[in-house]
Amino acid sequence: MEITKLSTKGQIVIPESMRKDLEVGSAFRVMKKGNLIVLKGIKGFSKEEVEEMEELDKIWKEIDSGKGKTTSVEEFLKEMKTW
């Protein structure tokens, strides 16, 4: 058994002893029931899903580096209608 903590960004580190056979970028399904949280590895994403995850990763890197954009609720909703 290992112990880990939840970061302020909602991240949890999988202890090294448990991730030896995992590849960087591995995807997991997350399930929660009460205080039990289970990660289940997922394989076989579609091309569209991979592209979406890459785009989200790019967006989070921009936010983390301080390049995020702040807008009002009205501006956000207006922009959202264009999606």
* The total number of structural domains that make up the chain: 1
**59 within a domain of the structure (yes/no):** yes
Tokens matching residue 11? 């991240």
End-to-end CA distance of the chain: 45
Tokens matching residue 77? 């909703």
Q: Which residues, given as ranges, of the chain have pLDDT below 50? A: none
Q: Which domain holds residue 24?
A: 16-81
**1 within a domain of the structure (yes/no):** no
Give the pLDDT score at 60. Answer: 82
Question: What pTM, to 2 d.p., does this model score?
Answer: 0.45
Give the pLDDT score at 27. Answer: 85
Give the pLDDT score at 36. Answer: 87
Instruction: Give the contacts of 71 (CB within 8 A, at least 6 positions apart).
Output: 79
**53 within a domain of the structure (yes/no):** yes
Give the pLDDT score at 70. Answer: 82
Report CA 1 to chain centroid distance, whole Å.
24
